[in-house]
């Protein structure tokens, strides 16, 4: 990726004062015409010029053969010529002194090598003239700010003005989203289809939106994360410094990347798991569907972010109230307990058959007055963080009046108020009123609860202190260098001895062991270490030692060790033809300790990531693991461990003695530091790491380390600290 764009460069895309549409024509219903016509008809506050080789005018506006023929200064060009001549157009755009462009045309990188060459050529010309551009291969850009009112897209309609920004890698999705939003009265501040992002990227756009006063919530649709670290950084700034939620819908959840991984860490932490973890670390809310994205967006854009998770559910129907309650609790919300004052008001305002506690049932014949009394008193209660109001349409339900009243209450209380008018036809008038007044509405109460929960999650992620990573200064960096240098001479994988020495250099102790080159040495070592022992083959040619018959456990006599030594040599030789066995490792048997896996893998988008899992040999079946992008703080390490479903095994479930979780956290931090400082590590597995009882630390029983095939430097700046 190139250098970051300046704020002014991105601003030029949204706020041009004069625009040329280069390559337009008079063909209604074609992209070149519709782009020009949309700019014209949607109230652009500047001047627009059609550039068309053959037309004298387009839509009644005088046309120019070339952009350089236009006498006036121009801020922007929207390029709609076919890709085959985009370079010619860009050359003229540059010569004309235009500094911003949108390249709508397709036929670039997305079609293969020939298109990639074209894209590079156009980008090179743009760079030479200092032109910043969106695209190519995109729907265009919309800025609803009345100061500019700029619709340089071939969308069917200009969206309403709003405080939600939408950025999309897919152009086709944009038109569907616009239509969806139109039906729900959702407005946008900025709307960008950024296509192939050959110049201005989503990261540049996010930095701009961070300080865009018209934008309160940012939505991003991504098909690939190309700059993971940069995305995390800018999102974190937007969320913590500006308090703006960033919601991302990332497609491609299927984990094709995990299949090729040789390590447990690699196979568990596929690209999608890493994406989930990275987004969470940055405070980004990941959405599953477009509908989810807008469900979350409207509540965060229209309502205050909840101060807490205590909700009050108000309903005129028992069943939906129970459904909402179930979902609210499942989403981690709590049902608020009302004050005596609130309960008094409810008692006086509601019939004696009404349920006065949470969820409040107003009874089926409830009209505006009951909703008004209940919702007002509840929102005035200090023990309530938000109200979730449900309505089902009975014959006597005055739907529009209730909707109007809820809008009025919403204006009076600085707390979130969400609604769910269930049904469709009968409630439509009320729904329209709610949407017009920006009171979030959800057809299903479950979706309303989920949206409230996500708003709470946003608050939690926004306010969380990510902490600083601990930098351990007792790492034997010379020792690590020597191991890596030796491995580089021989290949890619560290043998078991090298893996243990690497971890030992990082102050992560392996179980006591020694290397034997003969039966006699193995027997002597076993007697010295103390029975029972394990024997493990040391051979870089063997990827999975157990599968090759290279591991024997719980040998409790000298004779068994002698026989075991020979057995291992024979098994490995017959399993892996030509395997060069370097030694047999004699190791103290593990004894007690909870088995944990800790690993490193390199993610192509986010860089080094660390995985912590639990479940011993069943870790892949249980899939009980947590992932973080390195570096991370001890607090994050603690959150990782606590998020494991089997964490109670470590904390002392059912009378078990608690394990040394603090030592485990230190170990995770040290692995995080290793991952960050040694990017030449492609994969690392410590499996199992044994977490002993409190105060007795952790020990590594087995480990596997693979280095990158080619590595050209890139050490962390703190490598030698």
Partner 1 sequence: MERGEIHSRVRKVIASVLKLAEEEVTAEANFIFDLGADSMQSLELVAAFEEEFGVEMDEAAALGVQTVDGAVEFISGILSTQG
Residues that bind partner 1 in the complex, under the rule CB under 8 A: 25, 27, 52-55, 81-82, 84-85, 88-89
How far, in Å, CA of 77 to CA of 86, rounded?
12
Nearest CA to 545 among 587, 488, 593?
Answer: 587
How far, in Å, CA of 168 to CA of 250, rounded?
10
Residue 525 · residue 511 · CB < 8 Å: no
Q: Count of residues for the chain?
A: 721
Q: Determine how β-strand 310-315 pairs with β-strand 334-335.
A: parallel
Smallest distance from partner 1 to CB 4, Å: 32
Eight-class DSSP state of 305? P
Residue 538 · residue 568 · CB < 8 Å: no
Smallest distance from partner 1 to CB 29, Å: 13
- CB nearer partner 1, residue 81 or residue 302: 81
- CB nearer partner 1, residue 107 or residue 658: 107
- CB nearer partner 1, residue 25 or residue 303: 25
- CB nearer partner 1, residue 91 or residue 481: 91
Residue 18 pairs in a beta bridge with 47
Smallest distance from partner 1 to CB 84, Å: 7
Smallest distance from partner 1 to CB 54, Å: 3
3-class SS of residue 705:
strand
Eight-class DSSP state of 392? -
Angle made by CA atoms 709, 544, 590, in degrees to the nearest 5: 120
Smallest distance from partner 1 to CB 32, Å: 9
**Coarse DSSP helix, strand, coil percentages of the chain, rounded to the nearest 5 percent:** 40, 20, 40
Which run of H or of E encompasses 122?
Answer: helix 113-129
- CB nearer partner 1, residue 81 or residue 565: 81
Asked whether the bond before 526 is cis by omega within 30 degrees of 0, the reply is no
Smallest distance from partner 1 to CB 88, Å: 5
- CB nearer partner 1, residue 25 or residue 605: 25
Nearest CA to 563 among 528, 532, 525, 535?
Answer: 535
Residue 145 · residue 13 · CB < 8 Å: no
- CB nearer partner 1, residue 22 or residue 551: 22
The tokens for 569 are 């040599």
- CB nearer partner 1, residue 89 or residue 203: 89
Smallest distance from partner 1 to CB 18, Å: 22
* DSSP states of 166-231: EEES-HHHHHHHHHHHHHTT--BSEEEE-TT-SSS-HHHHHHHHHT-TT-SEEEEEES--S-HHHH
- CB nearer partner 1, residue 79 or residue 583: 79
Smallest distance from partner 1 to CB 55, Å: 7
Across 337-430, the runs of DSSP E, i.e. the strands, are: 360-361, 386-391, 417-421
Smallest distance from partner 1 to CB 580, Å: 55
Smallest distance from partner 1 to CB 198, Å: 20
- CB nearer partner 1, residue 89 or residue 403: 89
- CB nearer partner 1, residue 30 or residue 357: 30
The tokens for 147 are 């100061």
CA 2 to chain centre: 23
- CB nearer partner 1, residue 82 or residue 130: 82
Smallest distance from partner 1 to CB 31, Å: 12
Residue 705 · residue 502 · CB < 8 Å: yes
Residue 650 · residue 661 · CB < 8 Å: yes
Smallest distance from partner 1 to CB 129, Å: 17
* DSSP states of 574-604: HHSTT----EEEEEE---S-EEEEEEEEEET
């Amino acid at each position: 990726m190139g250098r970051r764009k300046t704020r002014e460069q991105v601003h030029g895309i949204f706020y041009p004062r004069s625009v040329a549409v280069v390559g337009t024509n008079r063909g209604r219903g074609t992209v070149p015409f519709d782009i020009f016509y949309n700019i014209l008809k949607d109230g652009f506050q500047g001047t627009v010029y059609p550039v068309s080789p053959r037309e004298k005018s387009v839509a009644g506006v005088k046309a120019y053969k070339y952009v350089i023929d236009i006498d006036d200064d121009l801020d922007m060009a929207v390029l709609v010529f076919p890709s085959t001549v985009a370079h010619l157009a860009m050359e003229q755009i540059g010569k004309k002194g235009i500094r911003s462009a949108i390249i709508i045309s397709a036929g670039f990188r997305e079609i293969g090598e020939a298109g990639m060459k074209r894209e590079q050529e156009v980008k090179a010309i743009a760079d030479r003239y200092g032109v910043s551009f969106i695209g190519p291969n995109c729907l265009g850009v919309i800025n609803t700010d009345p100061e500019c009112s700029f619709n340089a897209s071939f969308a069917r309609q200009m969206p309403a003005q709003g405080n939600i920004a939408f950025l999309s890698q897919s152009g086709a999705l944009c038109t569907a989203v616009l239509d969806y939003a139109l039906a729900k009265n959702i407005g946008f501040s900025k709307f960008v289809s950024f296509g192939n992002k050959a110049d201005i990227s989503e990261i540049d756009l996010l930095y701009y939106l961070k300080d865009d006063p018209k934008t309160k919530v940012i939505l991003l649709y991504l098909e690939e994360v190309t700059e993971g670290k940069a995305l995390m950084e800018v999102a974190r700034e937007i969320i913590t410094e500006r308090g703006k939620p960033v919601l991302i819908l990332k497609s491609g959840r299927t984990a094709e990347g995990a299949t090729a991984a040789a390590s447990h860490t690699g196979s568990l932490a596929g690209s999608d798991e890493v994406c989930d973890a990275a987004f969470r670390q940055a405070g980004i809310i990941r959405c599953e569907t477009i509908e989810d994205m807008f469900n979350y967006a409207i509540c965060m854009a229209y309502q205050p972010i909840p101060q807490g998770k205590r909700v009050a559910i108000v309903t005129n129907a028992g069943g939906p109230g129970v459904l909402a309650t179930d979902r609210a609790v499942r989403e981690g919300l709590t049902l608020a307990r009302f004050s005596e004052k609130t309960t008094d008001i409810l008692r006086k305002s509601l019939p004696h058959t009404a349920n006065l506690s949470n969820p409040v049932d107003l009874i089926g014949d409830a009209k505006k007055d009951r909703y008004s009394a209940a919702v007002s008193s509840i929102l005035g209660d200090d023990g309530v963080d938000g109200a979730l109001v449900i309505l089902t349409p009975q014959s006597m339900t005055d739907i529009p009046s209730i909707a109007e009243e809820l809008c009025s209450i919403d204006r009076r209380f600085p707390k979130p108020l969400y609604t769910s008018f269930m049904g469709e036809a009968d409630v439509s008038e009320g729904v329209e009123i709610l949407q017009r007044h920006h009171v979030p509405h959800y057809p299903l109460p479950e979706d309303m609860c989920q949206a409230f929960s996500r708003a709470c999650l946003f608050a939690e992620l926004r306010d969380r202190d990510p902490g600083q990573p601990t930098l351990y200064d007792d790492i034997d960096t010379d020792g690590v260098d020597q191991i890596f240098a030796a491995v580089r001479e021989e290949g890619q994988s560290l043998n078991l001895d090298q893996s243990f020495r690497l971890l030992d250099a990082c102050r992560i102790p392996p179980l006591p062991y020694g290397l034997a080159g003969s039966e006699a040495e193995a027997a002597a070592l076993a007697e010295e270490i103390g029975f029972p022992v394990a024997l493990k083959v040391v051979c870089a040619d063997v990827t999975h030692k157990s599968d090759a018959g290279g591991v024997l456990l719980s040998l409790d006599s000298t004779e068994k060790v002698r026989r075991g030594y020979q057995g291992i040599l024979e098994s490995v030789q017959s399993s892996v033809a030509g395997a060069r066995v370097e030694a047999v490792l004699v190791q103290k048997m593990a004894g007690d300790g909870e088995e944990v896996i800790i690993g490193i893998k390199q993610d192509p988008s986010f860089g080094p990531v660390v995985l912590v899992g639990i479940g011993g040999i069943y870790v892949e079946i249980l899939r009980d693991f947590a992932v973080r992008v390195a570096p991370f703080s001890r607090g994050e390490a603690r959150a990782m461990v606590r998020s494991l479903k089997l964490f109670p095994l470590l904390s002392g479930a059912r009378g078990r003695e608690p394990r040394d979780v603090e030592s485990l956290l230190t170990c995770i931090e040290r692995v995080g530091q290793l991952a960050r400082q040694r990017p030449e590590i492609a994969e690392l597995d410590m499996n199992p790491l044994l977490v002993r009882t409190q105060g007795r630390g952790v020990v590594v029983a087995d480990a596997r380390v693979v280095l990158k095939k080619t590595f050209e430097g890139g050490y962390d700046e703190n490598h030698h600290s």
